[in-house]
Amino acid sequence: MLSIRSLFTSALLALPVALATGINDFDCESSSNPVVLLHGLGATYYEDLNFLQYWLQNEGYCTYSLTYGAYEGFPFVGGLKAINESAPEIAAYIREVVDKTGKPKVNLVGHSEGAFQSLYVPKFEGVSDKIDRIVAIAPPTHSTTFAGLYELAYILGNATRAVVGDVLDTVGCAACNDLGPDGPAVDRLNDGTPIAQPGNNITIIASKTDELVTPPTTAFVHEDGVRNVWVQSTCPLDPVGHIGEAYDLNVWNLVKNALDDTPDRKFVCLIGSPGK
Ligand SMILES: *[C@@H]1O[C@H](CO)[C@@H](O)[C@H](O)[C@H]1NC(C)=O
Ligand SMILES: *[C@@H]1O[C@H](CO)[C@@H](O)[C@H](O)[C@H]1NC(C)=O
Ligand SMILES: *[C@@H]1O[C@H](CO)[C@@H](O)[C@H](O)[C@H]1NC(C)=O
């Protein structure tokens, strides 16, 4: 285990990881709701959405994030636990942010599994009254292929691929099973009652060129209170893929528009990061 940890540490040091400095600052002041970010499968609070988090801070938001769904002994690989085990961790964190910031409600921004949780947690964990706006980037709402999902566990990239494989061999990937076809968490989220909870305003952002959460329309929720947005409706030339969605300035601007409820605010589209 020691060797796995040190391997991870050296792998992480090799990545352009922006380590926590200004995040999770409960004294942060903003006129907007605190923003809680939920990372994807295989990631942690300081990876995946970390660059978006810093960008949002520069835009004037106070941001908060946690690593959820990690097994003891493997703190660097989050989101592996079953969805219904991670969900209470996330709900507890939302309550903590509300308590410590003194704001009545937070906004949620999730990517991939984190986006799925941004829909699942308000529905099942009794915190929907503490949430205002939800921005879900590429949630596998109605499931995706198991093969694609398993790939998400490697979101950290090549540097740690072998190590992540070790972790998966040891603890498995309950979340992968949960989010696949007929996965228990997918079935529960789609149990015939609304996904959108009263008072929650949901924006779902998906890319037509998402190669992992497939088909990309699986993300969308066709209910009142939900706005479904293709990246390409605003930025037709953005070929962004699933992992790239977390690092794509066009997506970030769409997130900002959703948080501010200014869906028609114009911004200059960049040609996004292609592929993953
Ligand atoms: C949580 O979900 C798993 C499937 O991923 C299921 O086996 C388990 O029974 C669920 N636990 C509870 C308490 O509902
Ligand atoms: C990952 O590894 C593959 C094959 O070894 C290589 O083609 C690809 O460029 C690598 N990707 C990154 C992001 O390093
Ligand atoms: C979502 O926001 C829009 C615009 O602010 C508002 O008209 C609508 O009632 C909100 N929906 C919910 C479910 O709160």
The reply to whether ligand 3 has any atom less than 6 angstroms from the CB of 199 is: yes
Which is more confidently placed, 161 or 68?
Answer: 68
Q: Which residue has the tokens 């979340």?
A: 175
Supply the residue whose CA is at minimum distance from atom 9 of ligand 2: 158
Q: Can you name the residues that pair with 227 across neighbouring β-strands?
A: 203
Q: What per-residue confidence (pLDDT) applies to 137? A: 96
Pocket of ligand 2 (CB under 6 A): 157-158
Domain total of the chain: 1
**265 within domain boundaries:** no
What's the pLDDT band for 151 if we cut at 50, 70, 90? low
Ligand nearest to the CA of 15: 2
Question: Residue 144's Cα: distance from chain center in Å?
Answer: 16
Kindly tell me the burial class for residue 16, based on how many C-beta atoms sit within 10 Å of its own C-beta (0-12, 13-18, 19 or more): exposed
Strand stretches in 98-233, DSSP E: 106-111, 131-137, 201-206, 226-230
Domain assignment of residue 204, given as a range: 4-24+31-145+193-260
Phi, psi for residue 231 in degrees, rounded to 5: -55, -40
Supply the residue whose CA is at minimum distance from atom 6 of ligand 1: 184
Q: What per-residue confidence (pLDDT) applies to 73? A: 76
Helices in 145-248 by DSSP H: which ranges? Answer: 146-152, 161-171, 174-179, 184-189, 231-234
**107 within domain boundaries:** yes
- Looking at residue 235, its amino acid is C
Lowest mean pLDDT among 15-19, 141-145, 155-159: 15-19
Q: Which residues contact 265 (CB under 8 A, 6 or more apart)?
A: 253, 256, 257
Query: Ligand 1, residues 84, 125, 177, 186: which to mutate, most atoms within 8 A of Cβ?
Result: 84
CATH number at residue 220: 3.40.50.1820
* Distance separating alpha carbons of residues 49 and 232, to the nearest angstrom: 21
Q: What is the pLDDT of residues 213-267, one digit of tens each?
A: 888 999 999 999 899 999 999 999 999 988 889 999 999 999 999 999 999 999 9
Helices in the chain by DSSP H: which ranges? Answer: 2-14, 50-58, 83-101, 113-124, 146-152, 161-171, 174-179, 184-189, 231-234, 249-260
How many A from CA of 138 to the centre of ligand 3? 21
**172 within domain boundaries:** no
Kindly tell me the burial class for residue 191, based on how many C-beta atoms sit within 10 Å of its own C-beta (0-12, 13-18, 19 or more): exposed
How many A from CA of 269 to the centre of ligand 3? 26
* Distance separating alpha carbons of residues 99 and 103, to the nearest angstrom: 7
**210 within domain boundaries:** yes
Query: Ligand 2, residues 15, 158, 242: which to mutate, most atoms within 8 A of Cβ?
Result: 158
* Distance separating alpha carbons of residues 68 and 28, to the nearest angstrom: 23
* Distance separating alpha carbons of residues 4 and 12, to the nearest angstrom: 12
**164 within domain boundaries:** no
**198 within domain boundaries:** yes
